[in-house]
Amino acid sequence: MPGFRLEQGGLIDRSTPLNFRFDGKSMSGFAGDTLASALLANGVQLMGRSFKYHRPRGVYGSGSEEPNALMTLGRGQEEESNLRATMVDLYDGLDARSQNAWPSLNLDLLSANSMISAFLPAGFYYKIFLGSANFWLLPEYFIRRAAGLGYPNALDNEDDFQHHYQHCDVLVAGGGTSGLAAALAAARSGASVVIVDEHARLGGQGLWRNAEERVFVDAALSELEANPKIKVLTRTTAWGHYDDNMVACIQIEGDPGAPLAPHQPRARAWHMRAQRVIYATGAIERPLVFANNDRPGVMLAHAAGSFASKFGVLIGKRILLATNNDDSYAHASILAQAGAEVTLLDARSAVSAALTAQAKAAQVDLRLGQTVLAAKAGKAGPSAAEIGALDGKSSSLIDCDAIASSGGWSPSIHLHSHTGGKAEWRDDLQAFVAGKRLQEGVTVGAAAGLFGAQDALASGWQQGLAAAQDLGHHQASGEAPRLELAEAPTTTIMPLWSCPKPKILKGKAFVDFQNDASASDVAMANQEGYRSVEHLKRYTTLGMGTDQGKTSNINGHALLAEAQGRAIAEVGTTTFRPPYSPVTLGAFGGPHTGMAFAPIRRTPMQALHAAAGASFVEAGLWYRAEWYSRPGEDMWASIKREALNVRQAVGMCDVSTLGKIDVQGPDAQEFIQRLYCNGMKTLPVGKVRYGLMLRDDGMVFDDGTVARLADQHYYMTTTTAKAAAVLAHMEYHLDVVWPDLKVRVASITDQWAGMSIAGPRSREMLQAALPGLDLSNEGLPFMGFLDTELNGLPIRLLRISFSGELAYEVHTPSRFGPQVWQVLEQVGQDFGLMAYGTEALGALRIEKGHVAGGELDGRTTPADMGLGKMVAKKKDFIGRLGLMREGLSRDDRPRLVGLMPADGRSKFVAGSQLTEAKSVGGFGQITKSLGWVSSAHFSVEHGCTIALGFVENGDRRHGETLYAASPLDGLHVPVTLVSPHMIDPQGERQHG
């Protein structure tokens, strides 16, 4: 008979019944149930299917170690898969579905895998499908579909996730008896304490293990509540311990699969920075390894005990419990007292009198020197078990309807291990405990191998006090809490890693349930040379499931050690990787996803552009206006109109995104001089100069302009993309390389708005806007600037040109940007002023042969861009020596050229490669490339595509024809190499 609800007992609230569904079937449970306990109470044994063989599986554990009972909850937006039924608190309306089974959990066609499991041992896939790669794609298709557990949600996530930051003196991970004692001790000493627990309520096993412990837990809980120095977080898992005692926790809000309350996040990621961390993380029980130990109705001993004590659910009427350690006697007693017939098989031939008496008192049928060899079980739970002595010589069948087993307990030292702390084997416990530590974290209670409640409490208390004292707090006043159990539990254990082979029954003995790694897989891996624990893990997939080997790793490693005739300590254990248990990805993203993933920068004039019909494009976090649509125009019509208007009348473009850096100090001139590769020393106050900046390796880093505002004061601009990098470059050289230079730099990008006024009528227009000013070539020559006012608004007027036209830039403090823009727009009406976007800007600068992002790609020298003559010969500057190296100074590097279609009209694209070949060869054939097209655009001046590109010796090849090949677009266009200055090569316009 499968599990059922007891008449009484448990921590459930029987006055609050809850309805839920499992695979469409209506069921009911009580408040305080987990989904697992409620299913058991409804007689459900079969809860899932395993990963590989699709074997039927039932619940195995009681908490986050659960390998089998994984389910999908909720529908639509709320749907969430791979939830462990043991960790889901029951709620009214819960809708759970089984996973990894088709067509149904009961009749899963892929369970056929189980029948051919002899052909599917560990690593079978490495030995077959040994053809070429494309041959693998077919079997892989089917393997992929058979693998996986639940389905991902098919809807884009709409739930919120939050990030929280918390500092405290002492963080206690785990709210069982030892954790509670530690929290009390630290808090009573005056330390600030945070205690977290993955379950909905604190107390751990102390809630149900025995009455005396429960008294302590209740008293502790009320003290925690009353003490404002303690913060309690439940449903919160401390999943990772990182550098400098940062412990990452996730707190689950709301119920998985259920809608959230308004403004409620799905989960919170807590970043806890603690002075001291106390790991009260408990221990995880290991199963015995016997045939069919994976069947529904077979589970861990403590799980059977906890279902009875905590939830009032008995897993069967005739329960067989097999063990190798003392702890199981308590669970056997609990089960017997709840009304089950319990047979306890203890593999040890002799145990203490106290244990024998305990078993007898509880009317447990204790059989020493015996263990379970196999379960006789299908989908619906066991009907019998084969039991026998350890020598495996004789065996017999015994009737039972549930089987529990315990192979001992493994302390949870995951967090300790995350920080690089070592694991140490202890023979007396048959377990790894925390060894050498690297961070301020200590284990207490079961996590420290102290499995008895008294010891656990004492260790928690002591470490809580120690942590507080260590931080300078005083000794806690008042009595230490005491726990006096009628009989102190003992914790002896005998190693038993695999039960003898059954003689009557047959079946695989599993080590890792979720991934179907069996004892024979471990043996086979070892036989085949996969001898390291890491090889074992990777070859058999043992410990690679969602439970991360919580119940299986130690068993697997012990079996490997046995097979090699070595000690477990020698074989070692695999590294624990965070997270302790799986963490919802959304919690990592927190609020920093979607539009908030990266900041968006907007210029002061953004709203004006939007109102004028601009489309925006991101450029280094900035959203820049690409073009301004007018009614009836398509994109290209807008761009062409804007570009043409600059060439014919006057246009205005928002250039606020350019990096702007203020440089001041007695050594500012010297610093600027070292920063740029061209001469800057002679730049007089009141003038602007174009500058080229190199990296130390000699490649061009950035370009921009430098205005000398005063003797010791410069105003620099950088490209939009490199603004932050250039500032950091300057700061580094001032702080680290030349700390003797007396210079300060500050980014003023955000403080200044800028607009470019370009076109043959720009002077007329600005003259109209600034009637009192002399804007003639004498008053404001090319590369001059002046500070003045426009309608009472302060502006800096610089005569510089990117488009090649007569042009100016108007800079103004950001808060005046929109006003200045509007004033100029107003004045400009009489001169045909139009706003233009980055597309037209790009087209214009290509026509002029000015380099930008496509050319400044970090792999070009000044000479590559035809700017070799700018490089100063008579000064030192960053990159000078780098530039002297053979690879950068040789003459045959690709050089900047202008490119035009040979036929005067064919379109070609940026990213094309330049070749002499009439066509590009097919797959496997090499076509020599001579260069590439770095930027291309439609030219209003020439009425066709024009481009900039780089060609080996390009500066000496003007007039030659090559092909711009873009096989990606199916284009192969003959192009003529020309001077990069495709308009006004003498610069008459900008100087005009």
Residues 900-919 that bind other proteins (CB under 8 A): 909-913, 915
* 159 lies in the site for other proteins, by CB under 8 A: yes
Question: Which residues 857-876 are close enough to bind other proteins by CB under 8 A?
Answer: 857-859, 874-876
Give the nearest distance from C-beta 881 to other proteins in angstroms: 4
Give the nearest distance from C-beta 278 to other proteins in angstroms: 19
Q: Which stretch binds other proteins (CB under 8 A): 318-326, 345-353, 606-614, 921-929?
A: 921-929
Please report how the helices 211-226 and 177-188 are oriented relative to each other, as an axis angle in degrees rounded to 10: 40
**CA separation, residue 539 to residues 148, 374, 524, 712 (Å):** 18, 26, 10, 68
- C-alpha 686 chain-centroid distance: 51
User: Of 474 and 681, which has the nearer Cβ to other proteins?
Assistant: 681
User: Of 6 and 917, which has the nearer Cβ to other proteins?
Assistant: 917
Give the nearest distance from C-beta 835 to other proteins in angstroms: 19
Residue 697, classified by CB atoms within 10 Å of its CB into exposed (0-12), middle (13-18) or buried (19+), is middle
| Beta strands 161-173 and 193-196, pairing class | parallel
β-bridge mates for residue 195, sequence order: 172, 232
Question: Which residues 72-101 are close enough to bind other proteins by CB under 8 A?
Answer: 79-82
φ/ψ (deg, to 5) at 112: -55, -30
Give the nearest distance from C-beta 588 to other proteins in angstroms: 4
User: Of 259 and 378, which has the nearer Cβ to other proteins?
Assistant: 259
Angle at 980 between CA 975 and CA 981, to 5 degrees: 125
Cis peptide before 500 (omega within 30 of 0): no
Residue in 28, 356, 469, 584 binding other proteins, rule: CB under 8 A: 584
Q: Which stretch binds other proteins (CB under 8 A): 11-19, 141-149, 464-472, 900-908?
A: 141-149
What is the distance between the alpha carbons of residues 380 and 839, in angstroms, rounded to a whole number?
A: 70
Residue in 10, 817, 854, 954 binding other proteins, rule: CB under 8 A: 854
Give the nearest distance from C-beta 912 to other proteins in angstroms: 6
Residue in 96, 185, 269, 340 binding other proteins, rule: CB under 8 A: 269
- C-alpha 830 chain-centroid distance: 56
Give the nearest distance from C-beta 575 to other proteins in angstroms: 8
User: Of 859 and 958, which has the nearer Cβ to other proteins?
Assistant: 859
* 853 lies in the site for other proteins, by CB under 8 A: yes
Angle at 773 between CA 767 and CA 779, to 5 degrees: 100
β-bridge mates for residue 375, sequence order: 385
Query: Are 233 and 196 within 8 A, CB to CB?
Result: yes
Q: How many residues does the chain have?
A: 992
Q: Which stretch binds other proteins (CB under 8 A): 129-137, 286-294, 505-513, 980-988?
A: 129-137
Residue in 885, 918, 956, 958 binding other proteins, rule: CB under 8 A: 885
* 880 lies in the site for other proteins, by CB under 8 A: yes
Closest CA to 198 of 302, 94, 277, 270: 270
User: Of 77 and 234, which has the nearer Cβ to other proteins?
Assistant: 77
Residue in 48, 175, 698, 862 binding other proteins, rule: CB under 8 A: 698
Residue in 302, 418, 647, 796 binding other proteins, rule: CB under 8 A: 418
| Beta strands 793-798 and 833-835, pairing class | unpaired
Question: Which residues 926-985 are close enough to bind other proteins by CB under 8 A?
Answer: 926-929, 932-935, 965-969
Residue in 1, 155, 219, 357 binding other proteins, rule: CB under 8 A: 155
* 109 lies in the site for other proteins, by CB under 8 A: no
Binding mask 593-612 for other proteins (x = CB under 8 A): xxxxxx-x------------
Residue in 28, 111, 153, 469 binding other proteins, rule: CB under 8 A: 153
Closest CA to 288 of 255, 250, 329, 324: 324
Q: What is the largest CA-CA distance in the chain?
A: 114
User: Of 701 and 714, which has the nearer Cβ to other proteins?
Assistant: 701
**SS3 state of residue 334:** helix
Owner of token pair 């390009």: 954
Residue in 342, 347, 375, 699 binding other proteins, rule: CB under 8 A: 699
Binding mask 756-775 for other proteins (x = CB under 8 A): --------------------
Cα Rg of the chain (Å, integer): 38
Query: Are 568 and 561 within 8 A, CB to CB?
Result: yes
* 580 lies in the site for other proteins, by CB under 8 A: no
Query: Are 783 and 688 within 8 A, CB to CB?
Result: yes
Closest CA to 692 of 668, 669, 660, 717: 717
User: Of 366 and 852, which has the nearer Cβ to other proteins?
Assistant: 852
**Pseudo-torsion of CA 223, 229, 232, 233, nearest 10°?**
180
Closest CA to 888 of 897, 879, 896: 879
* 731 lies in the site for other proteins, by CB under 8 A: yes
Looking at residue 718, its amino acid is: T
Question: Which residues 230-259 are close enough to bind other proteins by CB under 8 A?
Answer: 240, 242-244, 246, 248
* 118 lies in the site for other proteins, by CB under 8 A: yes
* 198 lies in the site for other proteins, by CB under 8 A: no
What is the distance between the alpha carbons of residues 840 and 334, in angstroms, rounded to a whole number?
A: 81
Owner of token pair 């639940």: 150
Question: Which residues 636-655 are close enough to bind other proteins by CB under 8 A?
Answer: none
Give the number of residues in contact with other proteins, rule: CB under 8 A: 146
Closest CA to 726 of 770, 687, 676, 766: 676
Query: Are 307 and 40 within 8 A, CB to CB?
Result: yes
**SS3 state of residue 318:** strand
Give the nearest distance from C-beta 294 to other proteins in angstroms: 18
User: Of 212 and 528, which has the nearer Cβ to other proteins?
Assistant: 528
* 119 lies in the site for other proteins, by CB under 8 A: yes
Helix (H) or strand (E) holding 948, with range, is: strand 944-952
* 743 lies in the site for other proteins, by CB under 8 A: no
Query: Are 433 and 267 within 8 A, CB to CB?
Result: no
Q: What is the CB neighbour count within 10 angstroms for residue 819?
A: 17
User: Of 48 and 698, which has the nearer Cβ to other proteins?
Assistant: 698
Token pair listed for 158 = 């709409």
Question: Which residues 523-542 are close enough to bind other proteins by CB under 8 A?
Answer: 524, 527-532, 534-535, 538-539, 541
Binding mask 49-68 for other proteins (x = CB under 8 A): --x-----------------
* 273 lies in the site for other proteins, by CB under 8 A: yes
* 613 lies in the site for other proteins, by CB under 8 A: no
* 156 lies in the site for other proteins, by CB under 8 A: yes
Token pair listed for 156 = 């884009």
Residue in 162, 166, 546, 767 binding other proteins, rule: CB under 8 A: 546
* 589 lies in the site for other proteins, by CB under 8 A: yes
Residue in 25, 115, 128, 262 binding other proteins, rule: CB under 8 A: 128
Question: Which residues 619-638 are close enough to bind other proteins by CB under 8 A?
Answer: 619
Query: Are 150 and 101 within 8 A, CB to CB?
Result: no
* 737 lies in the site for other proteins, by CB under 8 A: yes
Question: Which residues 557-576 are close enough to bind other proteins by CB under 8 A?
Answer: 575
Residue in 21, 75, 93, 131 binding other proteins, rule: CB under 8 A: 131
Closest CA to 514 of 322, 287, 327, 198: 287
**Pseudo-torsion of CA 815, 816, 818, 824, nearest 10°?**
-170
Cis peptide before 287 (omega within 30 of 0): no
Give the nearest distance from C-beta 101 to other proteins in angstroms: 12
Give the nearest distance from C-beta 227 to other proteins in angstroms: 27
